[in-house]
Structure 1
């Protein structure tokens, strides 16, 4: 029985993994398409980045594939009257459910290992490749209409960016550095246009203003062109610190404790703890997906036929990721405890799954 169930589930499981992976890789390729087509980024570098992203994608697709495989396999067995034959032979439902749940635990263990050991390493390599790619292709690292803090002495705001040429308009810079040292009050540098050339910005039609302690302008000068070496600073700002996806659980936990010791805002601690708990909750989602899919696979086929599981799987996947996004957002803004925010979808699916299983096993 166990071997038969494994053979029946293996094909739809891998089809689910392949389908989910292709969709997510397509989404990432869309992100890199601008660099590939407009900037002439090396295709092999883009391919290398996509391959390195595969482990992180697999961790997300495993629960989806487990859900589809369970619903389709048990739905097929029900439609072919195999479940009725097993029951007629005196085989209880638990003989069907226990191997399926063990497969869910196996997939969760594989996802947990991948997420803890492989994903941090590959994500760090992706980070390095992205950094080199951005520096080589003169990519814009921010969105217009944002105030960007580069460091304690430099802030800037760009009114608009031409997506075709990368030409920036209505640039305003607050800068505390001057030839003689640090200014007491930031000077305001405004430029009508700016263009990234290599590792620098070329500013045109520039006006520089400096202010005294009463806020009055004591200096104003116009410059035709000005060069601002800022690209390396922007790249360093974006890629300076490891993000949670580049850390193992132990490293992330230590970072959360440092945030507490440094008395950082409670929201920073909550964000860190939420991501820490998600490192376990997301890989283990495969088990809870199988847990809720197993009884539903038998129940759905009675009402909708063998392929009703496909529609049900799509609905369940949508519900799960809505719950996950909602929980993560609520945990990061401290509306609920971080552990609850991370485990909320699994708790809901687990509660529903155990309730449905009990109806079959009692």
Structure 2
């Protein structure tokens, strides 16, 4: 590795972490001013618990969210400083081509991208669990967790379907239960009950006032009873689909959950898919935004750092705007979530190629 690479990488990482350390305390200060009254409403809530269960996950989550913004701003700042000091002119005068000058920037953004990918897919879910649990216990006036699920249709396998008129997740019981088994398109077996309860200790469902019916061309039969203990390959938690649960799962678990839910006939899982795909698109944006920042800031301008910073911040907020809009559109049942969450990176990737080509010339 050349001295030039070490020099740029040192500036790249130190300025990035410095910018991040400025943004996060500002965010914490704003959050404390908003949440102080809610914290003080709970006499049993200590400062240590607030820091460990709320603000450490807060720093981790928001630090990851602010990563592209901090990276973009820091790259513009120190590259503009190099340009204003004619360091970049000296580098090119030494016969170093623009693509070689860009190499340490790409290397630095790749390292940050890999760290962010690992955190997003395998680590941040534990932080989200702690954060959500604290919010649910102390901060939300209206509880986020649903306890009552109406009109549930669940496809267990290709040939097995269950239906509930409603299910109470707190009491683990439901009403208006029906289980149907098919052989291709032919209905073979129906089990209905007025009430069904889940026994967590024994992993058994108890159906009250049940009716069994075997369907055949000539030998239909019916069995009626008061109580029936049986098993099914689903749990009560599988009946609930809420957005914040996606953030509490590591990516392999989330991917398995999406596939299993699709096999069970759950229709719109796009919010879960947006969460899964966004865990990749956000880290990848660090590479794209780094190229844009270097291409904007590597030329010495009459307005100095201020002009580069203004142009860069405008592009950054435009990226954030597109990212939020496409996430909302991707969660819609009518759109492809994979395409939607990648649109900002595709558009800004084109901008990065254009600015790089122009800067190289």
- 1:319 lines up with 2:323 in the alignment: no
Question: Structure 2 residue aligned with 1:252, among 236, 251, 254?
Answer: 254
Map of 2:358 onto structure 1? 359
User: Match for 1:11 among 7, 11, 14?
Assistant: 14
Unaligned runs of 5+ in 1: 154-175, 177-181, 185-236
Secondary structure, counterpart of 1:274 in structure 2: helix
TM-score (norm 2): 0.68
Change (3 A) 1:314 1:360: closer
What is the TM-score with the length of structure 1 in the denominator? 0.67
Aligned match of 1:140 = 141
Q: What's the secondary structure of 1:282's corresponding residue?
A: helix
Native 8 Å contact 1:17 1:62 kept in 2: yes
CA 1:39/1:129 → structure 2, altered by over 3 Å: closer, same or farther?
Answer: closer
C-alpha separation in 2, matches of 1:298 and 1:240 = 46
The alignment of Structure 1 onto Structure 2 pairs a total of residues equal to 276
Matched, 1:92 2:89: no
Residue-by-residue CA offset, 1:71-118 (whole Å, 9 max, x unaligned) = 112111111111112222222111211111111111111111222232
Does the 8 A contact of 1:32 with 1:46 survive in 2?
no
In the other structure, the counterpart of 1:223 is none
CA contact (8 A) 1:60 1:283 kept: no
Alignment CA distance shift 1:120-1:310 (3 Å): same
Measured after TM superposition, the shift of residue 284 of structure 1 is: 1.9
Listed one character per residue, the Cα deviations across residues 109-136 of structure 1 (whole Å, up to 9, x for unaligned) are 11112222321112222333344446xx
Question: 2:327·2:340 contact (CA, 8 Å) conserved in 1?
Answer: yes
- 2:36 counterpart of 1:37: no
Q: Distance in 2 between matches of 1:358 and 1:330?
A: 32
Cα 1:319/1:263, change in 2 over 3 Å: same
Distance 2:241 2:39 in 1: 21
**Following the alignment from structure 1 to structure 2, what is the Cα–Cα distance between the partners of residues 240 and 272?**
9
1:339 CA displacement = 0.9
Q: Does the residue aligned with 1:359 lie in a helix, a strand or coil?
A: helix
Q: Cα distance, 1:152 vs. partner?
A: 5.1
User: Where do 1:35-184 residues align within 5 Å?
Assistant: 35-40=38-43, 41-48=45-52, 49-133=54-138, 140-141=141-142, 150-151=147-148
Give every structure 1 segment of 4 or more consecutive aligned residues whose post-TM-superposition deviation is greater than 6 Å: 237-242
Whether the 8 Å CA contact 1:52–1:126 is kept in 2: the answer is yes
**Contact 2:76-2:293 at 8 Å conserved across structures:** yes
In structure 2, relative to structure 1, the CA distance for the partners of 1:151 and 1:354 (3 Å cut) is: same
Contact kept in structure 2, 1:74 and 1:294, CA below 8 Å: yes
For the 8 Å contact 1:297–1:309, the answer to whether it is kept is yes
The corresponding residue for 2:184 is none
Q: Distance in 1 between matches of 2:49 and 2:312?
A: 35
- What's the CA shift for 1:305? 0.7
2:95 is paired with a residue of what secondary structure?
Answer: coil
- Are the aligned partners of 1:120 and 1:246 in contact in 2 as well (CA < 8 Å)? yes
Contact 1:327 1:344 in 2 (8 A): yes
Cα pair distance change 1:290/1:118, threshold 3 Å: same
Flag the 1:37–1:360 CA change in 2: closer, same or farther, 3 A: same
Q: Which has the higher mean CA deviation after the structures are superposed, 343-352 or 238-247?
A: 238-247
**Secondary structure class of the residue paired with 2:283:** coil
- CA distance 1:240–1:85, change in 2 (3 Å): closer
- Where do 5+ consecutive residues of structure 2 fail to align? 151-167, 169-173, 177-238
1:204-250 CA-partner distances (Å, limit 9, x unpaired): xxxxxxxxxxxxxxxxxxxxxxxxxxxxxxxxx99999622211111
- Aligned equivalent of 2:276: 276
Answer whether contact 1:72 1:307 (CA < 8 A) is retained.
Answer: no
